[in-house]
Amino acid sequence: MEEAEASPLTVTGEKRSLPEEDPGHAAKRLRVEQEEEEQESRGGDEEEPLEQESQGGDEEEEEQEEESFADMMKHGLSEPDVGILKFISEHKGFSGILKERYSDFVVHEINKEGKMVRLDDLSVPADVEEDSQDCSCAETQTLTEEQKQQLDELQHFKNKEGSVAIEVQEDSKEKRTLLHRAVKTLYPGLETKTEDREGKKFIVAYHAAGKSALAEVRPSAAPRKHSWPKNRGSFCHFVLYKENKDTMDAINLLSKFLRVRPNMFSYMGTKDKRAVTVQEIAVLKISAERLSHLNKCLMNLKLGNFSYKKQPLKLGELQGNHFTVVLRNISGSLEQVEQAMTSLKETGFINYYGMQRFGTTAVPTHRVGRAILQNNWKEVVDLILKPRPGAEKGYLVKCREEWARSQDPEAALKRLPVKRCVEGQLLRGLAKYGKNNIITAFGLIPRNNRLMYIHSYQSYVWNCMVSKRMEAFGLRAVEGDLVLRGGYAHVLSAEEAEKHSVHDVVMPLPGFDVIYPTHSVGGGYRDMLSADDLDIDSMRHKVRDYSLAGAYRRILIRPRDVSWELIQYDDPRVPLVHTDVEKLENAPAPVYLKEGKYRALKMEFSLPSSTYATMAVREVLKMDTSIKNQTQLNTSWLN
């Protein structure tokens, strides 16, 4: 087992979804780790990131003290802080730049049938085209070419007036209804109203999702009713291609333009923000035609591969994700690269929970989770609301300072222009229920945000224990290790261990419904939890949501479909991956030079869900993936 020095790497934090356990199942049964929902019951409230960072606009940010980002990030976490300590490959590490461009990180979902999800067809299913003929005819008869041009400009924010007024020449309810319907159907994102002007009726079209309104994501009370063919599945499934946008941000944007609630959409998992990602989405009773119209007006999003099905999608149904990753400006020799990638293909990497699991600020999320499990609610509030060093938005700093000074939730809340962040939700709860009823107040934070804290603590324990296990026993199965048999954990005897590979070995996330290894590392779980004032034999919490059942997780992951190539290039701005949209548009594929100023490593691999691509990259480069370390390394590298 090797502990290597980190190599320089610039990494933008990869945002991954988190596993959630099902509290009700048979004792000791295998728990399948599923991706966390980004919203509470997929409702309208957007979930905040674990580091409790608000989503206010740039215009609301206060000036920070004159301190460099690298200096501020000195207060953040590094890998050893969350138990990430070991490498398993033997090669010497080398440097590279990850996500220099978001197109350097491409993710394709692998669906439950094991097929890679791709965007390769923008056409609308034939039965929908037939259903839409009446509307197309109505649009042709109702709107003039000049009106169509004005509406198109309005839809694309090119109309400085902010609205388009269409005079109703032959005033009747039927005529007005036809105009309303034509505008809303053919120009998604536009809303209409009827106005009287000097005795004449006008249909006024305006942008329902104006530039400032887009951030609010405040949909109408209910979707408008449309006729829906009885022989058609209720859910329109489609492939969503997105660039540099979080999955929930994309869904909120779609819901705004379609004037429906975000919980009308379903998906199998969330995808990275700083990346090009392709995944399947389903929406209830929205036609493929309406969805396809969005391709005319949305930036960095593309919808296609439409089909109708009877069922929505469910979180965790996916088999995994396929990654295409470009590491630019690498320093490693051809021999180093070959050794690193061959090791990744044949041996894999330690299946650590990545840094994004634990937040980026000076207060790690697993500490909040530990306080919840300890039933220490005063500390939970203190950890979330107290002033902290490091990079934060100005209004959050002032909110924390006000809380530290006055302990008045209403006064601190007034310092927050954006109330949907975790801090704002907790302060609202404290103002409503009082500081003596913290458990109820804490409950105002969406459930999955609350569960992420305790899952973060489980992940922290797991990381620490797997590092101990790799240090003690290395790359072989040993007596006392756990493997899964028919959904149950089984302790290996010495004889059985000889017949098993280390790739069969699992380790538990702590909980009331798991067993532990019987070798020395098993005792390490008990010692670690005891040091945190927790009883490993009593993991049920008086608040049912916070009772930890536990789960099993493989200690090593061997990626599938691994391939790689070295690329030469001169211009750092040139894309090095041919995306689905570029292929649809018949754009030429990137041309790689025989000789160039820089070299890049382009790698492809597939991973099961709930594993972290950054941990695979970490093993290849032998580097620390924390923002703290990467910022400091990159600063000194550039200087």
- pLDDT tens track for 357-387: 888 666 889 999 999 999 999 999 999 998 8
pLDDT of residue 28: 40
- Does residue 294 have a pLDDT over 70? yes
Instruction: Place 19 in a pLDDT band, splitting at 50, 70 and 90.
Output: very low
Contact 182, 142 (CB under 8 A): yes
The per-residue pLDDT for range 455-478, each reduced to its tens digit, is 999 999 999 999 999 999 999 999
The CA-based diameter of the chain, rounded to the nearest angstrom, is: 93
Instruction: Place 416 in a pLDDT band, splitting at 50, 70 and 90.
Output: confident
Instruction: Place 110 in a pLDDT band, splitting at 50, 70 and 90.
Output: very high
Tell me, yes or no, if the two domains 363-448 and 450-554 fold the same way.
no
The larger pLDDT score, comparing residue 5 to residue 514, is at 514
Task: Tell me the three-class secondary structure of 578-613, residue by residue.
Answer: CCHHHHHCCCCCCCCECCCCEEEEEEEEEEECCCCH
The larger pLDDT score, comparing residue 633 to residue 176, is at 176
Of 309, 259, 254, nearest in space to 125 by CA: 309
The per-residue pLDDT for range 556-571, each reduced to its tens digit, is 999 999 999 999 999 9
The domain over range 363-448 is classified in CATH as 1.20.1070: no
The per-residue pLDDT for range 495-531, each reduced to its tens digit, is 999 999 999 999 999 999 999 999 999 999 999 999 9
Residue 566, token pair as written in the block: 């070295």
Four-CA torsion 124, 130, 133, 135, nearest 10 degrees: -70
DSSP sequence for 442-495: HTTS-HHHHHHHHHHHHHHHHHHHHHHHHHHH-SS--TT-EEEETTEEEEPPHH
Domain 144-207 carries which CATH code? 3.30.1370
Query: Among all residues, which ones are annotated catalytic?
Result: 272
The per-residue pLDDT for range 598-623, each reduced to its tens digit, is 999 999 999 999 899 999 999 999 98
- Does residue 267 have a pLDDT over 50? yes
**Whole-number average pLDDT of the chain:** 81
CATH class of 450-554: alpha beta
pLDDT of residue 427: 93
Percent of the chain residues past pLDDT 90, beyond the cut: 53
Per DSSP, the three-state class of 255 is helix
Domain 229-318 carries which CATH code? 3.30.70.3160
Question: What does the domain layout of the chain look like in residue ranges?
Answer: 79-105+327-351+557-636, 144-207, 229-318, 363-448, 450-554
Instruction: Read off φ and ψ for residue 117, nearest 5 degrees.
Output: -80, 125
pLDDT of residue 458: 96
Strands (E) located in 286-397: 301-309, 320-328, 349-350
Contact 607, 320 (CB under 8 A): yes
pLDDT of residue 50: 38
- Does residue 493 have a pLDDT over 90? yes
Instruction: Read off φ and ψ for residue 284, nearest 5 degrees.
Output: -80, 120
Contact partners, residue 305, CB within 8 Å, separation at least 6: 118, 119, 120, 121, 238, 239
